[in-house]
Amino acid sequence: MSKKKLSKKEILKRASKIKFVLTDVDGVLTDTGVYYSAKGEELKRYSIRDGMGVERLRKLVGVETGIMTKENTDVVRSRAAKLKIEELHLGILEKEKTLEEIISRKNISAKEIAFIGDDTNDVEIMKNVGLSACPNDATKFAKKVADIIVESGGGNGAFRDLAEIIIEAKLQKQKIKKEDK
C-alpha cells in the first residue's frame, strides 16, 4: 500500500523542523553507474549541484548533512571529505540501527531528520524519519514510501532538490518569526 503523498504545506512544515539530512550514495548522489578503469579503479559520477546543496544547507540554515551507505569505498570517503561531511557511515547494512545511534548521540528526534534514498535497503529508514525523499528515478519500493519524489534523478541534483525544499521552509519560518517580533 502506498503512503499518502503530503501537501506542499505539510512538506514545508516538516522540512522547517529538519536539523540533520542523511543521504544514501548510489542512486542518490550518483547515477547508479559504476565505472572501472583499466587498472580496476572504481569511479563514480557525482553532481556538483548536490555538493552545493550540502554547502547551502550548512551555511544558510545550519543543517548538518551525513552519508549512510552500504558502500565502503575510498571514492565515497573522498567525496565526503571534499564536501566536509563528517557524519560518514560506510558499510551499513542495517540503516535503522545507525539512525537510532545518530538520534541518541546528537540528541535529536527522528522527526528532525530527513533521509533521501532510492532502493529497498532505504525503505525502513525512510519510514522512520521526519521527512523522506527519493529521486524521480528511484525504485518503486522507495517511491511507495517517500514523502517527496524530487524532480531530479540520482546523480543529477536529487539531493539538491531536497536541500532547497528544506532551505525554503527554514527561511520562511525564520522570516515569520522575525515578523512576529
Q: Span 8-180: which CATH code?
A: 3.40.50.1000
- State residue 43's pLDDT score: 85
Q: Categorize the per-residue pLDDT at 1 as very low, low, confident or very high, splitting at 50, 70 and 90.
A: very low
| pLDDT tens string 4-59 | 678 889 999 999 999 999 999 999 999 998 888 888 878 889 999 999 999 999 99
User: Measured in whole angstroms, how far is the alpha carbon of residue 94 from the centre of its chain?
Assistant: 17
Name the 3-class secondary structure at 112: helix
Indicate the helix (H) or strand (E) that contains 88.
Answer: strand 87-89
Q: Taking a C-beta distance cutoff of 8 angstroms, is the pair 164, 57 a contact?
A: no
- State residue 72's pLDDT score: 92
Per the structure block, which three cell numbers stand in for 22? 542523511
| pLDDT tens string 116-160 | 999 999 999 999 999 999 999 999 999 999 999 999 999 999 999
Q: ∠ CA(6), CA(120), CA(100), 5° rounding?
A: 75
| pLDDT tens string 59-80 | 999 999 999 999 999 999 999 9
Q: Categorize the per-residue pLDDT at 3 as very low, low, confident or very high, splitting at 50, 70 and 90.
A: low
Segments making up each domain of the chain, as ranges:
8-180
Of 144, 140, 142, 172, the residue nearest 11 (C-alpha): 172
